[in-house]
A and B are shown apart, each in its own frame.
Chain A
Amino acid sequence: MNFTEEISTNPLIMVLLYEPSFSYLLNFLIKKKGVLLVPLLPTLERISLNPQFLETHLTVFNPNDNRQFLTYNNKIGVIVPKSKVFLIETDSNFRWDQEMQLSKTFQNKTLIRTLNYFDGKTKNKKEKTNEKTVNILKKFALETVRGQNITVAFISQPLQITKIKLKKTKNNKKSKSKTKNKARTSTSTSTSTNKSTSTSTNIDTNTDINPNQKRRKKKKNVKGNMDPGNQIIKTMKPYLNQPEVQKLLEKIDTFCFKIKNSKRKDFNKIIQKTKRFIKKVRKQLPLEKIYIDKKDNKVKKQQISIFIIEIIMSQCSMYLVSILIEKEKQNDARYFNYFQKLNWIRFKHLGIPSKYHQKDVLLQAQRKLHEINFEKTPLQKLKCIQGVCLILLQLFNGKLSNADKFFPILIYTILYSNTKQLNTNLLFIKIFTNSTWLSTSSYGVYFSNIVSAFNFLKNLKHSDLKFVDRNLFKKLLNSKHQNRNQNHNHNHNHNHNHNHNHEHEHDQNQSHNQNQNQNQNHSHNHNHNHGHNNQNRKLRQQKLLNRSVNTLNFGKSPISFQLTKDNNEAIINKNSDLQTSQSNQKENKSKIENNDQNNEHQNVNDVDNNFQFKNITFDKLKFTQIPILLNDYNNIIEKIINLKKEIREKKLK
């Protein structure tokens, strides 16, 4: 399959072309010799659509008849005005030869501005479940296949609500067994974590159960999984159509516009402005008119303010965060460097017992913590933090975790994830969330846990650590030969293998022998081979790529999938690692060998571009592998530039 061909036919890729980060993704894939996975024959058939979906996925309208539109798949659709449902009626190869124009009604609306979550709808009136929709359109997710250093971008089809069953993961035992199964079984595809409740819901597809039963189960589960953030938005939803609330929304829009276009970049003033605005708006809002029923008293002022903040932040957060980042630039850099210096800290220094040394879980949590940079609103950021904590709680096998046990683990994950701008993110949350609301919700606990863990690392003393006295602490902190494995930790989105080795190093290099560390690092990271110019170039390229990738938003929930081949190899690697842990002398040698193997492996992969994926299915959709070539990339970039120009011109007009 040719990529350029695929572009002209595949609606999902067409949609993604409008996404600025998609070009970065393609760039990354080409450099990494990666692969793009796209559903075989993605169609928009049999899906009744809502306007949001139209905005993002369907653009071309019949200039003669505004009700008719053409999908990217060349299917004709018709808008049914009364029912407000958009139906795709017929299959045909019909094309409009005339100049295609966008309908006036949809002209102003932009394509994929936010992370578009498709609200699934069904045709039957009974099944219209506007409020109970599950948002699950993942644009793309990036994964590395274990054992193989092949990067895979994975684009999924928007799924229908009828096919989804929400599963609680109350019993951590279950989820743990799942993860075990994942490691063993081949070709298993699963989705982990979703927007609704970070890690607390797993979405599985299931077609065996009757739809009625499903609905009942869904209802129960949704109630059970309700977290305070979702509750607020859900309770506010029914009121959105009321004229008072709509006036409010208009005001908010104008306010956001003003903020975005303000020339002053004094952050404190902007904060004061927004806070004043929120107070004002809250006072102006006639609560009595809005809440007619007595039952509605549940929606209180506090909730409204959170809701207003959410709306404002969804529009202005990028701007505000960018200012805050500029302001906190020095601090961020300082903490980042300081945490890098602390990477000699091991489990035993923090007093973490060996039963909690589960690297998979810790890595997962570290990855989750990186997502905080991509979340927009404070509530979403809080959910991300909650997700990190919930992942870590898997370590306790469902037993009640003690703060004394949990805290060191959290500190460890923060230290080794070393998320850039964690400081600014925490500040951002602190500024824009209601402190009283935080103090009486579960988010507050997780937030204060993470803040205090961060503070612990910031003000670390030798007395806080075990087996370290003052002199040793100073020595280790000031030693020039620091492990620079943090680069790998940063890239753990892409390199599982490296991380495994890296983790082992942490466990086993307890002698603090700097020379040994140095040797290992040199063998482990080809980053430090200063002698070779070519490698230096590669290094730079890699760094650039990593930067670009770190700034990307790969969707809220990466889709994990594993393959038989790769799993076997991953297990083999693990075993070899375990063997190495038996003796210190053997350890170094075998590690070097392992690293060499890895390097060789990478080289092989660089050459071998014909790697075949087997039976990748997700929600009954089969996926194809599309290798992307440089020529393709150039064409695509041109296309993207043209598209952007067109959009700009349209806006100007």
Chain B
Amino acid sequence: MKKQKVVLLGKGRVGKTSIFKRFLQNEFHDNEVTTIQPQYLEKQVKVNTEKVTLSIWDTAGQERFRGLNPLFYRNSKAAIMVYDITDQESLDSLEDWLAELKNQVGHKIVLMIVGNKSDLKKKRQVSIEDAENLAKKVGAQHFCVSAKTGENIDEMFHELAKRVMKFVKENKTPLNTTKSRRNFALVNEDVETKKKKKKNNDGCC
């Protein structure tokens, strides 16, 4: 299967880069370690017998750079929306990111909502229910991970790969051509939510 583009989104300091690094090198250092190509990494994930190569793009989280991210969304098959469980604002801001993503991408993509820093349970500000409600609303799957301990990281990416594969197989027509973009115009939210209820967490927005 071809390489599939995945974008990491979220507010600044939520730990996007750490998740990104944790997954690809299975390492976590408080002082981040070297990589050859920052902001871009590829990794093969095995799903049953098949392999998918995920090419993961890290993006800037600061408010002032948000307008520049659309270029990074282009041709992406999946997006990982990261929030910090110790910061309520980071979850609230995800809705803005989602709206922007929908505007820019113009076709269906796989979504994941990921709460990082699960090792800091004592400082938790965001309730799991809130996050899961948001995930349901958008048709995403929710995960709580810790880039520091590595908790749930592999599982999350494995699930993502699975969904991406399923998504690509379902939409065999090439997504990237201009014609296909028209075909995959965004589905209305209402229609979408109905579908989701039927399919029980389908994972597509």
| Contact among A403, A448, A453, A464 with B61 in the assembled complex (CB-CB below 8 Å) | A403
| Cβ proximity bits A499-527 to B, threshold 8 Å, 1 near / 0 not | 00000000000000000000000000000
Complex Cα gap A352–B34 (Å): 20
18 residue pairs from A and B, CB less than 8 Å apart = A399-B31, A400-B17, A400-B34, A401-B39, A402-B58, A402-B60, A404-B62, A439-B5, A439-B55, A439-B75, A439-B76, A440-B4, A440-B55, A445-B39, A445-B40, A451-B71, A456-B68, A459-B67
Complex Cα gap A275–B5 (Å): 25
B191 at the interface (CB under 8 A from A): no
Which residues of B1-52 have CB atoms within 8 Å of chain A's CB atoms?
2-5, 12, 17, 21, 31-40
B-side residues, CB < 8 A to A, are 2-5, 12, 17, 21, 31-40, 55, 57-62, 64-65, 67-69, 71-72, 74-76, 176
| Contact among B37, B62, B71 with A448 in the assembled complex (CB-CB below 8 Å) | B71
Complex Cα gap A562–B151 (Å): 52
Find the A residue at minimum CB distance from B34. Answer: A398
| Contact among B4, B21, B57 with A400 in the assembled complex (CB-CB below 8 Å) | B21
A618 at the interface (CB under 8 A from B): no
Interface of B, secondary structure class, is: loop
Complex Cα gap A580–B40 (Å): 42
A105 at the interface (CB under 8 A from B): no
Which residues of A387-445 have CB atoms within 8 Å of chain B's CB atoms?
393, 396, 398-404, 406-407, 435-436, 439-442, 444-445
A170 at the interface (CB under 8 A from B): yes
Taking A400-B34, A440-B2 as contacts, is the C-beta distance between A435 and B65 under 8 angstroms?
no
A171 at the interface (CB under 8 A from B): yes
Residues of B within 8 A of A453 (CB): 68
For the complex formed, measure the closest distance between the CB of A165 and the CB atoms of chain B, giving whole angstroms: 20
Complex Cα gap A459–B70 (Å): 15
| Contact among B4, B38, B55, B72 with A406 in the assembled complex (CB-CB below 8 Å) | B38
A452 lies within 8 A of B69 (CB)? yes
For the complex formed, measure the closest distance between the CB of A497 and the CB atoms of chain B, giving whole angstroms: 33
Taking A398-B34, A436-B176 as contacts, is the C-beta distance between A449 and B39 under 8 angstroms?
yes
Beyond A401-B39, A403-B65, 11 additional contacts (C-beta under 8 Å) are A172-B34, A400-B32, A404-B60, A406-B39, A439-B55, A439-B74, A439-B75, A441-B55, A445-B39, A448-B71, A449-B39
For the complex formed, measure the closest distance between the CB of A172 and the CB atoms of chain B, giving whole angstroms: 7
Residues of A within 8 A of B71 (CB): 448, 451-452, 455
For the complex formed, measure the closest distance between the CB of A25 and the CB atoms of chain B, giving whole angstroms: 36
B65 lies within 8 A of A399 (CB)? no
A262 at the interface (CB under 8 A from B): no
| Contact among A401, A451, A463 with B64 in the assembled complex (CB-CB below 8 Å) | A463
A171 lies within 8 A of B34 (CB)? yes
Residues of A within 8 A of B176 (CB): 435-436, 439
B64 lies within 8 A of A464 (CB)? yes
Residues of A within 8 A of B34 (CB): 170-172, 398-400
| Contact among A170, A398, A445, A459 with B57 in the assembled complex (CB-CB below 8 Å) | A445
Residues of A within 8 A of B5 (CB): 439-440
Complex Cα gap A442–B41 (Å): 8
Residues of B within 8 A of A400 (CB): 17, 21, 32-35, 38
Find the B residue at minimum CB distance from A447. Answer: B71
Residues of A within 8 A of B21 (CB): 400
For the complex formed, measure the closest distance between the CB of B16 and the CB atoms of chain A, giving whole angstroms: 8
A399 lies within 8 A of B32 (CB)? yes
B40 lies within 8 A of A404 (CB)? no
Find the A residue at minimum CB distance from B59. Answer: A403
Complex Cα gap A393–B39 (Å): 11
Find the A residue at minimum CB distance from B21. Answer: A400
Residues of A within 8 A of B58 (CB): 402-403
Find the B residue at minimum CB distance from A405. Answer: B60
Taking A399-B31, A452-B69, A456-B68 as contacts, is the C-beta distance between A404 and B12 under 8 angstroms?
yes
Question: Which residue among B33, B64, B176 has the maximum number of chain A CB atoms within 10 Å of its CB?
Answer: B64
Question: Which residue among A402, A406, A444, A449 has the maximum number of chain B CB atoms within 10 Å of its CB?
Answer: A402
